[in-house]
Amino acid sequence: MNNMTGLIDYGMGNMHSIAKALERAGGEVRWIASPEELQQVQRIVLPGVGAFRDCVQALERTGLGEAIVEQVRAGVPFLGICLGMQVLMDVSYEFGEHRGLGLIPGAVKPFPASHPERGFKIPHMGWNDVVLSSGRGSHPVLAPLAGRQVYYVHSYYCAPENPQHLLAACSYGDFPFAAAIGRDNIVAVQFHPEKSQKAGLAMLESFIRWHP
């Protein structure tokens, strides 16, 4: 019980597949539906599928948003997946303008409107690269992904303000976007590790062993 991973259950997301992937990676998983439960885990995973606004509203309604911010600021290792990465930003422009958790400065934006006309369907879906940021060594959680491809499904992307917060990139057509962001005890990915086979499993194993 000394390395329990809390999987945030706010009524959205592919919880079962992520829980199974974390267990296969060697993690003990506890589903978290209240702020009180969040205080009993040693690391946090926030999954997400669906609309930014609905996710943020659910986190606010349950009190989990505030509790996540509190635990992250206290140093608990945190992994955000897909929408769980996007809600870390200050603001999203998906169906209007909505405030995020503000843990990483930046915005969530749509792919260029011209993309579909140029033959790039939205959402960006399928296997693509994850190019680790060079210059300061690859992030310990992301290191197993070097030279491998992962599985993406998304129509919006994160644009962090601070280049230091960009941990890995990808391009859809000729348009680059953030594949992974993070700082301190936060790491978050736009792709789905639970759908990324061996590469995704290796990354989840690294997260479970990570002590920032």
Supply the residues annotated as catalytic: 82, 192, 194
Per DSSP, what are the bridge partners of residue 175?
172
Distance of CA 153 to the CA centre of its chain: 12
* Residue 21: closest CA among 92, 102, 79, 98: 79
Is residue 105 exposed (0-12), middle (13-18) or buried (19+ Cβ within 10 Å)?
middle
Per DSSP, what are the bridge partners of residue 170?
177
Buried b or exposed e, range 129-146, using 16+ CB within 10 angstroms: bbbbbeeeeebebbebbe
